[in-house]
Amino acid sequence: MRVAIDTQRLWESLMAMAEIGPTENGGNCRLALTDEDAAGRRKLLDWCEALGCRWRVDRVGNLFIRREGRRADLDPVAIGSHLDTQPKGGRFDGILGVLAGLEVFRALDERGIVTQRPLELVVWTNEEGSRFAPAMVASGTYAGEFSVESTLARTDRDGVTFGEALEASGFAGDMPVGQPRLDSFFELHIEQGPVLEAANESIGVVAGVQGMRWYDVTFMGQAAHAGPTPMALRHDALAAAARLIDRLQSHALNDASGHTRVTCGCLEIPQSSRNVIPGEVHLTVDLRHVDETELDALEQRFVQELAACGESFGVAVGHERLWKSPVVHFDADCVEAVETATRERGFAYRRMLSGAGHDSVYVSRVAPTAMIFVPCRDGISHNEAEYATPEHCGRGCQVLADAILQRAGVAS
């Protein structure tokens, strides 16, 4: 059985949610567990309660909204994403996946369709990691990667703990983390890259997520006067950092496969001055690849280049790996369900890997999982200019509806 989703109603829901925490250039700011984040959750719950859904919250604030099925004894098929945003984020990242789940519930309700398995619409807490690091920490706690205690103890820049913010938000639940068990999980998301738009394709059938590793890097040289100190006698920490960045960039650009990703997103020079040779530099490095063996090799290359740069400029170097997320391969049956739904609707699509991390990365460790991508304009995300067309949002939601009906079954 098929059900037709209402693209206009989905769009109106997206625009209504965007009224909470608006930014001056058309984006959104709903940092995790702030008043704005809580207001977004309450609006969603108002919509879902009107459909007769019930909801529960676990100890780290993950929100589970249930639409009952014919067989309450069966594990539910889950859909969802997150409602928190970057400080100057867009209206679609995460939000599309949640509100598409709402639209599926509404469409089923209109037709009076009861699924065999229950359905769960899930809102994962703090996916972005903008307020509490790392990203995806609550879905990671659900999957057993982090302990509940360590998650609740994490602090933001103001020293507020995750647990304190959770209590203040009104979404501190008592359901044990790891419940409910899921039959499967499907997440609709904007691509956050330019591939689908460039190929004029509507749907990305996401087969997995590339591996990621984050590092903090330190260069310790010697601060000195810019004028009297000869170039050959300097211990310039910034020059060493610049050399490392250049070497890593060159390596990635020369990778014929195009799969190597290197990003140096933060650079800090404590007590910097225009006429002082930098004696200390802190740098972040983000390495990504679709193949775990190649990612190991990339990490080794990074460590070798770092040591060489330190030696060349006479500075001490150090690095710490903060996070490691292995390459993820989603469940073959769930991916096939998405691909079948896309093909039967006649939408142009491709199989692809995600370049960004998502809650599905952790959920896939404990439940069969797949993702659906739709294009976003110019590949821009984590930005107020983030945009996806109503048509593409609707097509992604339609594929989501078809895939979960195939998985959950329809009661006779």
Q: What is the pLDDT along the chain (412 residues), one digit of tens a residue?
A: 789 999 999 999 999 999 999 999 999 999 999 999 999 999 999 999 999 999 999 999 999 999 999 999 999 999 999 999 999 999 999 999 999 999 999 999 999 999 999 999 999 999 999 999 888 999 999 999 999 999 999 999 999 999 999 999 999 999 999 999 999 999 999 999 999 999 999 999 999 999 999 999 999 999 999 999 999 999 999 999 999 999 999 999 999 999 999 999 999 999 999 999 999 999 999 999 999 999 999 999 999 999 999 999 999 999 999 888 899 999 999 999 999 999 999 999 999 999 888 999 999 999 999 999 999 999 999 999 999 999 999 999 999 999 999 999 998 6
CB-CB contact of 142 with 130 (8 Å): no
CA distances from 393 to 108, 142, 196, 250, 344 (A): 18, 28, 13, 37, 17
d(CA 401, CA 397): 6
Task: Put residue 52 in one of left, alpha, beta given phi > 0 → left and psi -120 to 50 → alpha.
Answer: left
Using DSSP's 3-state secondary structure scheme, residue 17 falls into helix
Q: What is the pTM of this model?
A: 0.89
CB-CB contact of 318 with 217 (8 Å): yes
Rounded to 10 degrees, the C-alpha dihedral 247/253/256/261 comes to 90
- Interhelix angle for 332-345 vs 390-408, to 10°? 130
Q: Each residue of 275-317: pLDDT tens digit?
A: 999 999 999 999 999 999 999 999 999 999 999 999 999 999 9
Of 172, 274, 281, nearest to 222 by C-alpha is: 281
Domains of the chain: 7-210+327-408 (3.40.630.10), 212-325 (3.30.70.360)
Alpha helix positions (H), 52-146: 95-111, 137-142
Of 77, 79, 184, nearest to 121 by C-alpha is: 79
Residue with tokens 């499967």: 184
Question: For residue 317, what are the β-bridge partners?
Answer: 219
Task: Give the pairing type, strands 261-263 and 280-289.
Answer: antiparallel
Asked if omega into 134 is within 30° of 0 (cis), the reply is: yes
Those residues whose C-beta lies under 8 Å from the C-beta of residue 3, and which sit 6 or more positions away, are 104, 107, 108, 111, 113, 401, 405
pLDDT value of position 1:
72
Phi and psi at residue 9, to the nearest 5°: -65, -40
pLDDT value of position 322:
86
Burial class, 228, CB count within 10 angstroms (exposed 0-12 / middle 13-18 / buried 19+): exposed
Q: Each residue of 343-378: pLDDT tens digit?
A: 999 999 999 999 888 999 999 999 999 999 999 999
CB-CB contact of 404 with 396 (8 Å): no
Those residues whose C-beta lies under 8 Å from the C-beta of residue 38, and which sit 6 or more positions away, are 169, 170, 171
d(CA 283, CA 270): 12
pLDDT value of position 357:
87
Using DSSP's 3-state secondary structure scheme, residue 294 falls into helix
Report how far Cα 364 is from the mean position of its chain's Cα atoms: 14
pLDDT value of position 412:
65
